Chains A and B, each alone.
Chain A
Amino acid sequence: MAFGGFSNPDSRRAAALIAAPFVYVILLLAVPLSAVVLFSFWTQDFMSVDTTFTLNNYRRIATEPIFGVLLQRSVFVAAMVTLVTVLLAYPVAYFVSFHVEPGKKSLWLFLITIPFWTSYLIRVFLWRVILGFNGVINTGLQQIGLIDEPLTFIIYNVNAVIITLSHAFAPFAILPIFVALEKIDRSLLEAGLDLGESRFTTFLRVTLPLSVPGVVAAVLIVFIPTIGDYVTPEQVGGAGGRLVANMIQTQFFALNNAPLGSALALTSMAMVSVIALGFVFLNRRWLRGRR
Chain B
Amino acid sequence: MKGLGLRAYAIAYLIFLYAPIVLLPMFAFNDARIIAFPLSGFTTSWFEMLWTNVALGQAVRNSLFIAVVTSVFATLLGICAARAGAMADFPGKRGVIGFIMLPLVLPEIIVAVSLLVILVQIFGLNLNNWSIIAAHTLICTPFSIAILNGAFQNLDPSFEEAAMDLGFSRFEAFRLITLPLVMPGIISSLLISFTISLDEFIIAFFLSGANPTMPVFIWSMLRFQDALPQVMALGTILVTLSVVLLVTAEYFRRRGIARAGRKDTGGFL
Contacts and interface: CB of A to CB of B under 8 A. Distances in A.
Given A21-B80, A94-B6, A28 B134 contact: yes
Interface in B10-68: 10, 13-14, 16-21, 23-24, 27, 34-38
Given A28-B138, A121-B219, A136 B111 contact: no
B37 A140 contact: yes
Given A13-B87, A112-B14, A167-B20, A129 B105 contact: no
Interface stretch (A4-12, A55-63, A153-161, A282-290): A4-12
Contacts of A175: 266-267, 269
A286 B246 CA distance: 40
B109 A220 contact: no
Contact of A6 (B9, B14, B90, B115): B90
A175 B89 CA distance: 28
A235 interface: yes
Contact of B90 (A11, A35, A221, A229): A11
A105 B267 CA distance: 9
Contacts of B222: 121, 125, 235
Q: Give the interface SS of chain B, mostly helix, strand, loop or mixed.
A: helix
Residue among A18, A33, A98 facing the most chain B CB atoms (10 A cut-off): A18
A22 B6 contact: no
A245 to B, nearest CB: 5
B105 A36 contact: no
A126 B195 contact: no
Contacts of A120: 199, 201, 215
B266 A265 contact: no
Contacts of B265: 106, 182
A209 interface: no
Interface in A98-149: 98-99, 105-106, 108-115, 117-123, 125-127, 129-130, 132, 134-136, 139-140
B147 interface: no
B143 to A, nearest CB: 11
B141 interface: yes
Contacts of B78: 21
Interface string B231-250: 10011001100110010001
Interface string A171-199: 10001001100100000000000000000
A223 to B, nearest CB: 10
Given A228-B110, A235-B222, A262-B113, A117 B246 contact: yes
B77 interface: yes
Contact of B138 (A25, A105, A220, A228): A25
B266 A109 contact: yes
A162 interface: no
Interface residues of B, number: 88
B114 A129 contact: no
B24 A122 contact: yes
B103 interface: yes
A14 B77 contact: no
A258 interface: yes
A244 to B, nearest CB: 9
A95 interface: yes
A111 B117 contact: no
A92 interface: yes
B93 interface: yes
A248 B117 CA distance: 12
A132 B218 CA distance: 19
A191 B199 CA distance: 48
A229 B215 CA distance: 15
A30 B24 CA distance: 40
A24 interface: yes
Given A99-B2, A249-B206, 16 more contacts: A10-B87, A10-B88, A11-B88, A11-B90, A91-B13, A95-B6, A95-B7, A95-B10, A96-B10, A122-B234, A167-B16, A175-B269, A178-B266, A221-B105, A225-B108, A272-B107
Q: Closest 6 interchain pairs by CB?
A: A228-B107, A126-B20, A32-B114, A14-B87, A109-B267, A99-B3
Interface of A: 5-6, 8, 10-15, 17-18, 20-22, 24-25, 28-29, 31-33, 35-36, 39, 49, 88, 91-92, 94-96, 98-99, 105-106, 108-115, 117-123, 125-127, 129-130, 132, 134-136, 139-140, 167, 170-171, 175, 178-179, 182, 220-221, 224-225, 227-231, 235, 245, 248-249, 252, 258, 261-262, 265, 268-269, 272
19 contacts: A17-B81, A20-B80, A21-B145, A25-B102, A91-B9, A96-B10, A114-B246, A117-B242, A126-B21, A129-B20, A130-B23, A167-B17, A224-B106, A228-B107, A230-B202, A245-B107, A248-B113, A249-B205, A265-B113
